[in-house]
Amino acid sequence: MKKFIIILLAIMLGAAAGHAQKFTVTGFVNDASNGEKLLGANVYNKQTYAGCVTNNYGFYSLTQPKGMVTVVYSFVGYQPLNLTFNLTADTVINVELKPTIELEEVEVKANGIEHHLESSQMSITELPLKTLKKLPVFFGEVDIMKTIQLLPGVQSGTEGTSGIYVRGGGPDENLILLDGVPVYNANHLFGFFSVFNADALNSVTLVKGGFPARYGGRLSSVLDIRMKEGNSKAFKVQGTVGLIASKITLEGPVVKNKSSFIVSARRTYIDILSYPIQLIANKMAGNSDNFFGGYYFYDLNGKINWRFSEKSRIYLSAYMGNDKAYANSKYESIDYKTKDNFKLRWGNITTALRWNYVFNKKLFANFRGSYSRYNFLVGEKSDNTTPDYHEKLAFDYFSGIDDLAAAADFDFVPTTNQYIRFGVSNIYHTFNPGVNAYSFSNQEGSDYASVDTTFGNNKIYANEIDAYVEDDFSLGSYVKMNLGLHASGFYVKNTFYKSLQPRAALRVIASKKLSLKASYATMAQYVHLLTNTSIGLPTDLWVPVTDTIKPMKSQQVALGGVYNLNDMFEISLEGYYKWLEDVISYKPGASYLTSDNNWQEMITVGNGWSYGAELLIRKDMGKLTGWIGYTLSWSWRKFEEVSPDKFPYHYDRRHDLSIVATYKLSDKIDFGATWVFGTGAAITLPYDKYITIDNSAGGYAGVGGPGGMQPYYQYVDNVQERNNYRTPSYHRLDLGVNFHKKKKWGERTWSVGLYNAYFRQNYFFIFVDYDYDHYNGTGKPDKVLKQVSLFPGMPYVSYSFKF
Amino acid sequence: MKKIVLSLLFLSYIMLSGCVKILNDELKTKETKLVLNAAITPDSVFTVNVSHTSNIFEDESADNLPFIDSAKVLLFEGDNLLYQLQNTGYGFYSNPGFYPQTGKQYKVTVSYGTYHDIESVASIPPKVPIVSLDTSSVFTTDEYGNNITNFFGEITYNDPPGVANYYQLSCVLYNYYNDSLVYVDPQSSVWPTDENERFFDSQSGSSLLWSDKLTDGKQVTFKFIFLYAYYGYNKMATDDKQTYKFEFHLKSITKSYFTYLKSLGVYWETGGSDNPFSEPVVIYSNVDNGYGILGAYNSDTISVSYTVSTGEGEGGKP
């Protein structure tokens, strides 16, 4: 490790040394139409091709030799801007880029491809949000998580759900950041929707490997989602009315050129639509019996910023989302009155206060204080009155996690060839792994004593500290490296775990069209998610490492290349190998639905490894955009307590193919289509069974056995291998079309489409059961394998507007 | 209104669109294997049961049971052949009059047709005597007028020091009516109390399982519940009486038998392999090349009887 640090410092210093008189151009790159910051925009000297990209706040710093320079500002989907000027002193230039009209594709350069060719970072994908809105969607709801599932290296979870499984990693190994704040449960409606409202988002970046040192805390991926800042030019409204949900977004300047805001809200209305049916049903049942049940989710995004000066800006962003399912019943007769209320509620809150400050032309800083909370509550109340007594009963179970965090991140740009990032952060976690509250009160006449008690797991407090430094630098014209070190520590219950995680990435320009890349990253993770492998239950529980459950660790190496084909197509090919250490799994027989107080007894620790190759062919410009992603991969697990042998991970998919396309026919009509194919999931099924004899109660006495009596026996299913069965392959075609029309008041869009257009019955779960349509020779129904599928052919329609 | 109706129809479609189909996969068994089942004890004739695995889809009716009655079953003490066990029907094999002894190692091998031979080894652990057993009962009446009696037992034993011990507590209930045996429940349940639930590794079926991991060499006392009884309203005729005899077995069992019973307990507790919300259970086996268990135990027994007083009837307090 020492050697690594010394080498790292030597290379960094070498890259920084020995430069003649130079000056620095700094500033921000914005969208001309709404003032939004453009993250990852290219800024480069047209003569020397020396350049940089804007950071997560749209800031850039470009140092160039004194004299006449032409600086090019470019970003995918925007018209590039060339500025020629005489550089004689340090200069601040804030620029605004105009969005392109896709029909003018010839004039647009492949800036996104250039960025990927240039960048030292690999295994990274920026999600094109504009394309995303043209794609067919599930229930009419644009969902970034479902689009991420279409990227190579990312497996989707169960049919219809939003979970992501990256390069053989588990569902808890993804760090999902919303404006830098972790989101612990990204699911609405049991995972069928994600919590992210696409209308409120500015950028979405997925990192699958070669993690830069600024990221830490999860093993398999980082999903960095940035909210919009709000239109600083004019007040704008956009909204969508869908079949099950509607949403609206308001944004605009608060004080022109100083402050802007954005507020976005979304709510489902399954509960409202079903209310009349329930009302009729209750009326038909008579007045004495009433039942109302329902479900809804909502979320709110808000952000406001204030610019104090060219150097100083503050942001306050917040997200709040909740799901609630409820069932209320009431029964009344002359003598009896009963009221029952059941509720299930879960949700996230994240808040971040950030302050950007440009200390000088070379040093940019971001300070952040944040709060993140996920909690889950299930509760039941009943109130019973009889002629003899009156009783009230209440039961609640709640669990969750709270994070209070502070962080300071710095971007230091000593030369154009070098970009240094460093920072520290501290997260104070409060884990609440399940508390039961029970109360019972007798008003009159009951035989039972009143009770009011709370029991379950105590809260666990933990402190997580992180520090990092990374240097992205060029060695000559062809070689670029990103070297870094991430250090982290976790203090919980008098135990302190620490980890030093070296990171390295290398890029070599092989030709104008081809760059080759390699990376190595180690990661450590101090929190675990107790979850199941089917649906995203809100009961999923975040728990910390303990003295017996150690931190999970991973190492990943990747090799690959990016090729620019005709300035239109970006072709990237990557191979990777990932080792996972001390990952957790449920023990045999552990049930997901029990709120077992001693969760440590339900899990077992083991190792995993995965490897594979990913191909991505992507086109971001022109009438036809989209990508083809293909993954060939293997993913294994080994848990001594589960099986003596290695077994395939549930999300081991040998082949995974996604074809995503949008076509803009005109300004009025565009089409979208996706087709996905994946090898079936690995699940556990019993192939055979055998008899167990009841050996209790003194051998076989009294229950048969010796002497010709039939023994007391039971069949048990024989499951000797975990994940021994492959479900049928998964494939699905989604189609959609959007009709746009300019109106006097703005623009409206009708979106119609069909999810799972050819009605493929994909696996949701499989079980052994009887076929009551076929009977065997003995008159008994045949035993067969049955598959439950969801959502065969799901049409959608939605209406969107903006003005 | 039309839109609402259409929306409702659409929602109904969504609700009903989940569907079930039969897969044509046969789940072909890779290899049919022999299964050995036995729990040997010095108190019983050495008996084993031999059967074979069946495909998961195979008929489970009584006329299609997989017991094997023509296998070659050899019993060894160490490496010395003692007997070829004789079939007594329904897959059982024994040697009349041969009772296994504590501490000796027994090996059973089974050969049958083209199946792979199987074998398993077990030694009966020493008996751990019950030092004392105290019982008590709590009598209540529920809101419907039913009489309920909770029976509690408190058992004490000395755990042998320096060796790993595994235990099972089970109960056999004999029910007499006017001194005539009416029925026997060989698996009358015993439960932990709320306070000591965590002491036990498992409640396998109707019994309790635990080890001496935390109590090696100590005198151990714990409380348990052995009957939670509802009694009806009808009073017995005068001069009739009903007696409940509880026979408690404190069994010192082998580690492999303990592991097997524990896994079997988890299997039944989680609903076998049909529960999509729990991980599947692999049932432990100590049979080489096959499945099942050659378990061994040594039991100390103590009995307690309750008699319902004459004239108090079934609803009376014992």
Q: How many domains does chain A have?
A: 3
Evaluate whether residue A595 is within a structural domain.
Answer: yes
For A105, counting Cβ atoms within 10 Å of its Cβ (0-12 exposed, 13-18 middle, 19+ buried), the class is middle
Q: What are A437's two structure tokens? A: 């509250």
Q: Is the pLDDT of residue B15 over 50?
A: no
Query: Do A399 and A261 share a domain, yes or no?
Result: yes
**CA angle at residue A51 from A47 to A54, to 5 degrees?**
140
Query: Do B302 and B200 share a domain, yes or no?
Result: yes
Q: Is the pLDDT of residue A631 over 90?
A: yes
Range ranked top by mean pLDDT from A50-54, A675-679, B18-22: A675-679
| Cα(A614)–Cα(A239) distance, integer angstroms | 37
| Cα(A556)–Cα(A301) distance, integer angstroms | 35
Q: Is the pLDDT of residue A141 over 90?
A: no
Evaluate whether residue B5 is within a structural domain.
Answer: no
For B63, counting Cβ atoms within 10 Å of its Cβ (0-12 exposed, 13-18 middle, 19+ buried), the class is exposed
CB contact under 8 A, B57 and A783: yes
Query: Do A306 and A158 share a domain, yes or no?
Result: yes
CB contact under 8 A, A698 and B186: yes
Evaluate whether residue A50 is within a structural domain.
Answer: yes
Q: What is the pLDDT of residue A532?
A: 58
| Cα(A376)–Cα(A538) distance, integer angstroms | 7
Q: Lowest-pLDDT range, A156-165, B201-210, B300-309?
A: A156-165
Q: What is the pLDDT of residue A565?
A: 86
Q: What is the pLDDT of residue B286?
A: 93
Closest of A593, A539, A542, A535 to residue A190, by C-alpha:
A535
Evaluate whether residue B314 is within a structural domain.
Answer: no
Query: Do B165 and B103 share a domain, yes or no?
Result: no
Q: Which residues of B touch A687 (CB under 8 A)?
A: 27-30, 55-56
Q: What is the pLDDT of residue A87?
A: 84
| Cα(A142)–Cα(A198) distance, integer angstroms | 6
**CA angle at residue A227 from A225 to A231, to 5 degrees?**
150
Range ranked top by mean pLDDT from A70-74, B71-75, B182-186, B266-270: B71-75
Q: What is the CATH number of the domain that holds A41?
A: 2.60.40.1120
Query: Do B119 and B154 share a domain, yes or no?
Result: no
Average pLDDT, chain B: 81
Evaluate whether residue A764 is within a structural domain.
Answer: no
Range ranked top by mean pLDDT from A110-124, A309-323, A763-777: A309-323
Query: Do A300 and A375 share a domain, yes or no?
Result: yes
Q: What is the pLDDT of residue A15?
A: 46
Which residue in this structure is represented by tokens 């195979």? B58
Query: Do B137 and B116 share a domain, yes or no?
Result: no
Q: Is the pLDDT of residue A298 over 80?
A: yes
Q: What is the pLDDT of residue B4?
A: 40
Q: Which residues of A touch B187 (CB under 8 A)?
A: 694, 696-697
- Structural domain ending residue among the three candidates B76, B104, B123: B123
| Cα(A625)–Cα(A134) distance, integer angstroms | 10
What are phi and psi for residue B265, nearest 5 degrees?
Answer: -60, -45
Evaluate whether residue A624 is within a structural domain.
Answer: yes
Q: What is the pLDDT of residue A320?
A: 92
Q: What is the pLDDT of residue A396?
A: 79
Q: What is the residue type of A406? A: A
Q: What is the pLDDT of residue A108?
A: 44
Which residue in this structure is represented by tokens 């998964």? A730
Evaluate whether residue A678 is within a structural domain.
Answer: yes
How far off is chain B from A705, nearest CA to CA, in Å? 7
Evaluate whether residue A761 is within a structural domain.
Answer: no
Strands A514-525 and A552-565: antiparallel
Query: Do B174 and B145 share a domain, yes or no?
Result: yes
Range ranked top by mean pLDDT from A492-501, A594-603, A786-795: A492-501
The residue-averaged pLDDT of A397-419 equals 88
Higher pLDDT, A81 or B80: B80
| Cα(A221)–Cα(A627) distance, integer angstroms | 21
Confidence of residue A705 (pLDDT cuts 50, 70, 90): very low
Q: N- to C-terminal Cα distance for chain A?
A: 57
Evaluate whether residue B19 is within a structural domain.
Answer: no
Q: How many domains does chain B have?
A: 2
Q: What is the pLDDT of residues A151-194, one digit of tens each?
A: 888 887 666 666 788 998 888 889 999 888 888 888 787 677 78
Closest of A139, A169, A161, A141 to residue A537, by C-alpha:
A161
The residue-averaged pLDDT of B284-292 equals 92
Q: Lowest-pLDDT range, A164-173, A449-458, B12-21, B197-206?
A: B12-21
Could you report the predicted ipTM of this complex, rounded to two decimals?
Answer: 0.86
Cα dihedral A720, A726, A727, A730, rounded to 10, equals: 150
How far off is chain A from B207, nearest CA to CA, in Å? 9
Query: Do A160 and A45 share a domain, yes or no?
Result: no
Range ranked top by mean pLDDT from A284-288, A520-524, A741-745, B196-200: A520-524
Closest of B257, B299, B268, B214 to residue B38, by C-alpha:
B257
SS3 of A569-617: the string is EEEEEEEEEEEEEEEEEECCCCECCCCCCCHHHHEEEEEEEEEEEEEEE
Evaluate whether residue B267 is within a structural domain.
Answer: yes
Higher pLDDT, A37 or A630: A630
Range ranked top by mean pLDDT from A356-370, B11-25, B189-203: A356-370
How far off is chain A from B187, nearest CA to CA, in Å? 7
Q: What are B222's two structure tokens? A: 């714990």
Q: Is the pLDDT of residue A762 over 90?
A: no
Query: Do B231 and B183 share a domain, yes or no?
Result: yes
Query: Do B62 and B171 share a domain, yes or no?
Result: no
Interacting residues of A322 by C-beta distance below 8 A, sequence separation 6+: A297, A298, A299, A345, A346, A347
Q: What are B176's two structure tokens? A: 């007499």
**CA angle at residue B295 from B294 to B300, to 5 degrees?**
155
Per DSSP, A132 falls in state H
CB contact under 8 A, B292 and A690: yes
Evaluate whether residue A289 is within a structural domain.
Answer: yes
Rg (CA), chain B: 25
Q: Lowest-pLDDT range, A615-624, B41-50, B266-275, B295-304?
A: B266-275
Per DSSP, A99 falls in state B
Query: Do B256 and B140 share a domain, yes or no?
Result: yes
Q: What is the CATH number of the domain that holds A131?
A: 2.40.170.20
The residue-averaged pLDDT of A370-375 equals 90
Evaluate whether residue A740 is within a structural domain.
Answer: no
Of B18, B30, B280, the CB nearest to A789: B18
Higher pLDDT, A450 or A752: A752
| Cα(A795)–Cα(A242) distance, integer angstroms | 12
**CA angle at residue A761 from A755 to A765, to 5 degrees?**
115
Q: Is the pLDDT of residue A728 over 80?
A: yes
Query: Do A595 and A530 share a domain, yes or no?
Result: yes
Q: What is the pLDDT of residue A696?
A: 47
Evaluate whether residue B278 is within a structural domain.
Answer: yes
Q: Is the pLDDT of residue A448 over 90?
A: no
Of A694, A709, A787, the CB nearest to B20: A787
Q: Which residues of B touch A711 (CB under 8 A)?
A: 49, 90-92
Rg (CA), chain A: 29
Q: Is the pLDDT of residue A323 over 50?
A: yes
Query: Do A193 and A311 share a domain, yes or no?
Result: yes
For an interface test with A, the pick among B57, B68, B195, B287 (most A C-beta atoms closer than 10 Å) comes out as B57
What are phi and psi for residue A12, nearest 5 degrees?
Answer: -60, -45
- Structural domain ending residue among the three candidates B93, B123, B153: B123
| Cα(B179)–Cα(A275) distance, integer angstroms | 64
Q: What is the pLDDT of residue A694?
A: 63
Q: What is the pLDDT of residue A451?
A: 61
**Segments forming the whole domain that contains residue B92:** 34-123
CB contact under 8 A, A697 and B43: no
Query: Do A376 and A466 share a domain, yes or no?
Result: yes
DSSP H or E run through A68: strand A67-74
Query: Do A275 and A348 share a domain, yes or no?
Result: yes
Query: Do A59 and A136 share a domain, yes or no?
Result: no
Q: Is the pLDDT of residue B138 over 60?
A: yes
Residue spans of alpha helices (H) in A463-533: none
Average pLDDT, chain A: 82
The residue-averaged pLDDT of B179-205 equals 79
Q: What is the pLDDT of residue B73?
A: 96
Strands (E), chain B: 19-23, 34-40, 47-52, 54-55, 72-77, 80-89, 92-94, 105-111, 118-123, 130-141, 147-158, 166-177, 180-188, 191-192, 208-211, 219-231, 242-253, 291-308
**Segments forming the whole domain that contains residue A9:** 2-118
Which residue(s) pair with B72 in the sheet? B111
Query: Do A233 and A359 share a domain, yes or no?
Result: yes
Query: Do A508 and A602 share a domain, yes or no?
Result: yes
Query: Do B116 and B81 share a domain, yes or no?
Result: yes
Interacting residues of B216 by C-beta distance below 8 A, sequence separation 6+: B159, B161, B162, B164, B165
8 A C-beta contact, residue B281 and residue B273: yes
> Which pairs from B162-165 meet CB under 8 Å and 24+ separation?
B162/B216, B162/B217, B164/B211, B164/B212, B164/B213, B164/B216, B164/B255, B165/B125, B165/B128, B165/B211, B165/B212, B165/B216, B165/B252
The percent of residues in chain A predicted with pLDDT above 90, rounded, is 25
Query: Do A359 and A441 share a domain, yes or no?
Result: yes
| Cα(A214)–Cα(A56) distance, integer angstroms | 12
Query: Do B142 and B276 share a domain, yes or no?
Result: yes
Query: Do B216 and B300 share a domain, yes or no?
Result: yes
CB contact under 8 A, A791 and B17: yes
Query: Do B115 and B175 share a domain, yes or no?
Result: no
Q: Is the pLDDT of residue B317 over 50?
A: no
- Structural domain ending residue among the three candidates B123, B150, B176: B123
The residue-averaged pLDDT of A50-60 equals 83
Q: Closest-CA residue in chain B for A708?
A: B89
